[in-house]
Structure 1
């Protein structure tokens, strides 16, 4: 199994998005402003502006640039980066009024995902689309009240792996297997560590951790992919 190596744990920051957008708008570049204007409603637009501005402010603090000078690009696999600082890697996820930002300063790729937990999402069609047979069987062994949380634990883990590796999410539904804790392990589903295995490249696997969200009703997942693993992915 390829482990996490000697990389430092990523820093995790929580961002509250329901605040005035005016001051953050000044930090966006022309491309980001065009994207904001194209968003379909004022609430989504405001949260995008605040999120992008706050992320750029954090990156500015880490790089020594001014926030207005920070330009976020995508690498060849679509992962965000600041071109002049290739060892500063980060991942962002948001749902509703909350966003989470994970940062690594040693070149390790990171992936973070944040989802609102909803029983309406756990349908037979969604289970068939996102989970492999072993994962679906594991969910059936859980008490009904735990299945929703377990599904979101698997879902967020696969999203986080997709962001860290640069693989598209649809392929991660197939190639990534998430091993959860035993039935009834409610604490493990929220804060414990699970293992995500790449079924197409054994014995590659990554520990998934669960940062505790500051608001109730969220599921989270965080994965770190050191550079040595990245070269093999």
Structure 2
């Protein structure tokens, strides 16, 4: 297997979403405002407006465009893009009051994910369809608390790979195998780099890093896909 390669690391910014939406609403375009109005929950709606406005403000700083004139599209694989700036790549993830934005300016695709660690997700049914056999074997040997943490380390890594490559997340459950070594305290996964491998393509592997969240109880993952590794559809 060819060793995984990395590119210049993207910038990672953490966004606090629990703030008034009034100042961010003018930055949204007509399509984004329709989407916001369609959200049934006021809290979810407010956080969406704040998140979108903050992301556009960051991207506007990178491009020189006024935030209200910046339009976010998606490419053929569903990845966000600013059409006039093809080398500007970014990925956004959010959970509760927290969002994370990864931005690359050199054309490298990026994928980032943040999840709140919770034992409610770690059920036999979910483990069965989201993990590879080797991942299930690794988690089975961990104490309950560390198993929960390890599961979220695997889950966020697969989400990050899916976002960077534009793959369907469901296919990543069975095709992407995440190696969680070396072990941290109590035999659980460390907080350093992990490796995600494509079981169907031995040459494809990605280094997964873990940006430190500003709030406790969150799992994170970041994957950078160098331009040379841009996948064919």
Question: Which TM-score band applies after superposition, normalised by the shorter structure?
Answer: over 0.9
| 2:221 paired residue number | 221
Q: CA RMSD in A?
A: 1.5
60-69 vs 176-185, greater mean Cα deviation: 176-185
Task: Decide whether the 8 Å contact of 1:190 with 1:212 is kept in 2.
Answer: no
The 2-side partners of 1:182 and 1:208 are apart by 13
Residue matched to 1:9: 9
CA contact (8 A) 2:165 2:231 kept: no
**Pair 1:139–1:32, CA change in 2 (3 A):** same
Task: Confirm whether residue 138 of structure 1 aligns to residue 138 of structure 2.
Answer: yes
Structure 2 unaligned residues grouped into runs of 5+: none
What is aligned with 1:52? Answer: 52
Alpha carbons 1:143, 1:184 under 8 Å: kept: no
2:119 paired with 1:119: yes
Deviation at 1:191, TM superposition (A): 2.4
Q: Residues of 1 paired with 2:144 and 2:188: CA distance?
A: 17
Partners of 1:170 and 1:140 lie apart in 2 by 22
Structure 1 residues 169-217: Cα deviation after superposition (integer angstroms, max 9, x where no partner): 0000011000001455469835210000011111210000000000000
Counterpart-to-counterpart distance in 1, 2:108 and 2:195: 18
Conserved 8 A contact 2:122-2:148: yes
**Structure 1 residues 70-219: aligned runs within 5 Å:** 70-185=70-185, 189=189, 191-219=191-219
Secondary structure of the corresponding residue to residue 220 of structure 2: strand
C-alpha distance in 2, partners of 1:149/1:137? 15
- Between the aligned partners of 2:4 and 2:20, the Cα distance in structure 1 is 42
Q: Which runs of 4+ in 1 moved over 4 A?
A: 182-188
Name the count of aligned residue pairs.
232
Which stretches in structure 1 are left out of the alignment for 5+ residues? none
Task: Give the TM-score normalised by structure 2.
Answer: 0.96
